[in-house]
Amino acid sequence: MVDLHCHVLPGVDDGPRVIESSLALCRVACDDGTRTLVATPHVNPDYPDVTAALIQELVGVVNGALRAEDIDVTVRPGAEVALSRVGELSDLELDQLGLGGRRHLLIELPWTVAAPGAVAALRALAGRGYGIVLAHPERSPIVQNDRALLSGLIDEGMLCCLDAGSLGGAADRRTRATAWELLAGGLAHAIASDCHDAVRRPPRLRSMLEEARLTPDEIDYFAREAPEAILNGDAVGSPPAIADRRRRHWLRPRW
């Protein structure tokens, strides 16, 4: 499996602080069936020192440590780029922040309801020749307030990557409802762990998708086929539409 959204690099953002913690995270991912992690540290105003050069350097460090420890996982470069930073980054820098070194960028929407400005910025970015993968759109107030807006962006060629945790009971009600509505509407193209550590926010991608009752074929599309296509720069096939499978707690028998 391919985990398209991971905070695995040590000491750069709110993910692991040291290389030992990065390796612990990778061991959990490996045990759960993931073989490729895409390092997507935050590129946002809170972490101004995170650059493409630093990401490339640390990807090399982590991969070297993985080989030394015989952990069967490969880390590929990427970034989770805040939409607010895009306008101040050159094409050269953005090229190096693409997922897997390609021209698809993982973009984090602003945590506001200012949809018109965000949509204009996304379209301007697409006009610079970049593919856009929206990170955890189900958590964005912009998307929660207007599903039709997201559908329009997807019609223009943008893609969506959900957080696996948004499908489960630990997510807040609105986020979880939005995630399932996007799946049911065929508006999600990949699902990732958005992991930050080995315990609190672990990379248990397959386990979380199985707990959400996705079928093996559905898991294969969202956690292998579509992410691999994005990393390879290939066209992403149409996603399967999935019925809402949230467990109806009130239908459970009371013993």
Angle at 176 between CA 83 and CA 220, to 5 degrees: 80
Percent of the chain with pLDDT over 70: 96
- Convert 109-135 to b/e letters by CB count within 10 Å (16 or more is b): bbeeeebeebbebbeebbeeebbbbbb
Residue 115 has pLDDT above 90, yes or no: no
Residue 80 has pLDDT above 60, yes or no: yes
**Which runs of E-coded beta strand occur in 45-109?**
74-76, 80-82, 104-108
pLDDT at site 188: 97
pLDDT tier, 114 (very low <50, low <70, confident <90, very high otherwise): confident
Residue 85 has pLDDT above 50, yes or no: yes
Residue 254 has pLDDT above 50, yes or no: no
Can you name the CATH fold of 2-230?
TIM Barrel (3.20.20)
Better pLDDT: 178 or 115: 178
Q: Give 117-168 pLDDT, tens digit per residue.
A: 999 999 999 999 999 999 999 999 999 999 899 999 999 999 999 999 999 9
pLDDT tier, 247 (very low <50, low <70, confident <90, very high otherwise): low
Q: Give 45-65 pLDDT, tens digit per residue.
A: 999 999 999 999 999 999 999
Helix %, strand %, coil % of the chain (to 5): 45, 15, 40
Residue 18 has pLDDT above 90, yes or no: yes
Residue 200's nearest CA partner among 67, 17, 50, 2 is 17
Average pLDDT of the segment spanning 3-8: 98
Which residues are paired to 3 by β-bridges? 37
pLDDT at site 174: 95
pLDDT at site 253: 38
Domain boundaries, the chain: 2-230
**Across 20-29, 101-110, 228-237, 246-255, least confident range:** 246-255
Averaged pLDDT of the chain: 94
pLDDT tier, 219 (very low <50, low <70, confident <90, very high otherwise): very high
pTM for this model (two decimals): 0.94
- Stated as kind and residue range, the H or E segment containing 232 is helix 226-232
pLDDT at site 248: 52
